[in-house]
Structure 1
């Protein structure tokens, strides 16, 4: 059997405006598991390749698949549905499978479309293997855990507890030259070193999918993969995409020590919780090649942090950015405007607070309730969701209003926030010295995206 995985056209990363285009690791992991079991597999990353719909169809024709597996997030679901429909028209006898965050939590909605045959719910690597083997052997699909089809919803499949059982993602099937980070002119890739997050922030869809139990890869497996990226793909920059890479300080030190011991020369960045950093761990990370941290600030209001179960304090946010500046590590502050408790005053306070933190970059998102999260359930029950069009769930379009701010107010505040942060002479001078042309590309991308 031939299986084609598809990242649909026109579904670039939600951070593309920041110069970030990341490989679809989920598809690459599933493809690797199928290849390991001797199936013929290919991946069409139509988004990263900037394919037109006509170019996508031509690529799909060339692959001549028996099974077409399409990934979807909430804001890309319409493009995924269009992909599924075109795929079914081209190959009416093929089996169309859809998976990802949105399909996992909205499978009933998707099964209403006659061109979708099966939905995968949850971590897909071994679900897709069970599914393909069952189809090839003409077996009973109702025995495959973690799927939905027709009027049948099978039991959930257990989470993958030993992540070292997974092969490295099948990056040889991806257009690796097309991925980039912060507009840097270097070859990059992403990696994960863990799944699951015990912190359980209410707005996080990743934690909803991967669970609250932290599952860790071995140090050897992580650094082996880094070496594989360098030797086989000439990767110069790696972005670790764990929910929070730094949650286990001892483990971070061990990873860094192994990178240093093997004399691996690669630059990398990661996600980090503000309450998991100190000067000692940052010095070690810097020595091992870390240059960028992506940290959740969310709000300057402690009550809002408590409401979303952030489990940290304003003071810890301030200290984390201070120590990163001292250790000369680039920071990206992730901020959420328009949470239910936000007021005109609290939003202005948050924008000023972020300026005072002096991060290298800042992303001012609008509160977006993704299906499957506690946040979605909370605002849905209170009838606060004002926009039902999934394509607007981009973090740029307002979806809910607050006790004081309308949707129009929130969009205005977001634009003001980006302008106030990026157009300060002191900021521009500081960042031009450190990041040069990268900054100019990033600012242009930010404003083009927000103002559109």
Structure 2
């Protein structure tokens, strides 16, 4: 089976804003499971290799696969559909095209209208394994496919068949580590520079269900953790194999499980591993002692989702945090001389422009090392998408624009154009402060941001900022 990202997506806004290139861990995890059961697998990481359609098609043809799996997020879905149709045209209808990822999980009917034969919905490892073995024995036979949990396909009568969901994997330790040997590990960069950073996922799921975030609705409302021993063993392997110096945890929220944090640090010390790491957290999941423990034991960056200065908004979106908790956490960060970033979302439907400006002022009050400002984006599969569609707020249905940089929906009290101007205002007001620039000069980080500061702050600076943080700079 060949697993791939759509070709040409490195040209999309979501990729071209930064020199960061990160491995597709989801595809690598599926590949590891397939290889473990004796299947031959290839991965094409198109954005990292900067593959356009022609080069990608030549690579696919050279491997002559029977099944091609395409991973799609919302901004990459249109090019994924074009790739699926092209595969059918070039390789014939005998080739089976499978789609997976957050977008087709929710928009499976759309995918099945655009060259896709089968959609893998949700967590993909065991569903893809069972699907592949079914296809090998029975092809696209409807009765056989109906026995595979977690998929969608078209039946003989043309109607979409959705099979029962597959239960989430309870013991994540049973999964093999991602098949990184199938990835171009020498090509992953940040700001165009080679870096020795590994990306690791220690958990799946989120119990909070914020209305705008796909995590809870894709990975589940209950968080599942790997064991500290398993994660530490993977890090040790990465240090030995790829000479890794830093680890980026791709989990949305690592500190929800303090037992894991303490156990992971203990394991790393026992293995004699001296690495730095970055992780995501919530302002209600840490206290001063936890932050100190993190900073004292290799954590170089913590990412907090603050989102708004309005307690009413925080309550309405299901964030379940308090404004005062954010103030307290960033006060502790400064006392500990730690490094943390904060994310803020502009454009909740009920907000006014003045509400958004108050959020920008709140970001300046908290004064994190960096701030990430994004515009609220209604991703399919989230409650926000249903809310925005129900109130006719979505004005741009081009999925490629769903980057959190470009406004695609209006509010009740503002237009898309006004929201775009507020995003510019937020970045300029936060990052062009003399105090911030002086701090960056003193820290030696300004050289990495100088090109960005000289460019159009409005349209693409936020991604550079957040990645600078999340990859442990």
Structure 1 residue 240: deviation in Å?
Answer: 0.6
Structure 1 residue 40: deviation in Å?
Answer: 0.6
TM-score between the two structures when normalised by the length of structure 1: 0.94
Q: Which deviates more from structure 2 when the two are superposed, residues 163-172 or residues 274-283? A: 274-283
Tell me the SS of whatever aligns to 1:269: strand
Q: C-alpha separation between the residues in 2 aligned to 1:176 and 1:276?
A: 34
TM-score between the two structures when normalised by the length of structure 2: 0.90
- What is residue 308 of structure 1 aligned with on the other side? 317
- What is residue 105 of structure 2 aligned with on the other side? 104
2:147 to 134, 143, 156: 143
Per the alignment, do residues 41 and 152 of structure 1 end up closer, same or farther by CA in structure 2, a change over 3 Å counting?
same
- What is residue 63 of structure 2 aligned with on the other side? 63
1:331-370 → structure 2 map (5 Å cutoff): 331-370=340-379
Say if 2:227 and 2:260, in contact at 8 Å, map to a contact too: no
Tell me the SS of whatever aligns to 2:81: helix
Structure 1 residue 374: deviation in Å?
Answer: 1.3
Per the alignment, do residues 441 and 177 of structure 1 end up closer, same or farther by CA in structure 2, a change over 3 Å counting?
farther
Deviations 1:204-256 (A, max 9, x none): 10110111111111111010111111111222221111121111223212222
- What is residue 233 of structure 2 aligned with on the other side? 224
Say if 2:452 and 2:461, in contact at 8 Å, map to a contact too: no
Say if 1:253 and 1:281, in contact at 8 Å, map to a contact too: no
Q: Which deviates more from structure 2 when the two are superposed, residues 248-257 or residues 267-276? A: 248-257
Q: Which deviates more from structure 2 when the two are superposed, residues 166-175 or residues 182-191? A: 182-191
- What is residue 460 of structure 2 aligned with on the other side? 450
Per the alignment, do residues 130 and 46 of structure 1 end up closer, same or farther by CA in structure 2, a change over 3 Å counting?
same
Q: C-alpha separation between the residues in 2 aligned to 1:309 and 1:198?
A: 11
Say if 1:386 and 1:400, in contact at 8 Å, map to a contact too: yes
- What is residue 286 of structure 1 aligned with on the other side? 295
Q: C-alpha separation between the residues in 2 aligned to 1:255 and 1:409?
A: 46
- What is residue 176 of structure 1 aligned with on the other side? 185
1:432 to 441, 450, 459: 441
- What is residue 422 of structure 1 aligned with on the other side? 431
Q: Which deviates more from structure 2 when the two are superposed, residues 358-367 or residues 323-332? A: 323-332
Deviations 1:344-394 (A, max 9, x none): 111111111112211122221101111111111122222222222211111
Q: C-alpha separation between the residues in 2 aligned to 1:47 and 1:89?
A: 23
Q: Which deviates more from structure 2 when the two are superposed, residues 56-65 or residues 201-210? A: 56-65
Structure 1 residue 279: deviation in Å?
Answer: 2.3
Tell me the SS of whatever aligns to 1:362: strand
Structure 1 residue 127: deviation in Å?
Answer: 0.4
Structure 1 residue 267: deviation in Å?
Answer: 1.6
Q: C-alpha separation between the residues in 1 aligned to 2:455 and 2:245?
A: 23
Structure 1 residue 184: deviation in Å?
Answer: 6.7
- What is residue 376 of structure 1 aligned with on the other side? 385
Give the superposed CA RMSD: 2.0
Q: C-alpha separation between the residues in 1 aligned to 2:190 and 2:329?
A: 22
Say if 2:424 and 2:459, in contact at 8 Å, map to a contact too: no
Per the alignment, do residues 28 and 106 of structure 1 end up closer, same or farther by CA in structure 2, a change over 3 Å counting?
same
In the alignment, structure 1 residue 161 sits paired with structure 2 residue 203: no
Q: Which deviates more from structure 2 when the two are superposed, residues 350-359 or residues 179-188? A: 179-188
Per the alignment, do residues 240 and 385 of structure 1 end up closer, same or farther by CA in structure 2, a change over 3 Å counting?
same
Deviations 1:105-127 (A, max 9, x none): 010111112x2111111100000
- What is residue 4 of structure 2 aligned with on the other side? 6
Mind listing any 5+ residue stretches in structure 2 that lack a counterpart?
155-159, 463-473
Aligned residues: 449
Q: C-alpha separation between the residues in 1 aligned to 2:2 and 2:458?
A: 34
Say if 1:179 and 1:189, in contact at 8 Å, map to a contact too: no
- What is residue 33 of structure 1 aligned with on the other side? 33
Tell me the SS of whatever aligns to 2:138: coil
Structure 1 residue 18: deviation in Å?
Answer: 5.1
- What is residue 72 of structure 1 aligned with on the other side? 72
Q: C-alpha separation between the residues in 2 aligned to 1:65 and 1:46?
A: 17
Q: C-alpha separation between the residues in 1 aligned to 2:360 and 2:173?
A: 42
Say if 1:245 and 1:270, in contact at 8 Å, map to a contact too: yes
Q: C-alpha separation between the residues in 2 aligned to 1:184 and 1:298?
A: 30
2:283 to 246, 250, 274: 274
- What is residue 84 of structure 1 aligned with on the other side? 84
Tell me the SS of whatever aligns to 1:365: strand
1:194 to 200, 203, 209: 203
Per the alignment, do residues 430 and 369 of structure 1 end up closer, same or farther by CA in structure 2, a change over 3 Å counting?
same
Q: C-alpha separation between the residues in 2 aligned to 1:446 and 1:61?
A: 40
Mind listing any 5+ residue stretches in structure 1 that lack a counterpart?
none
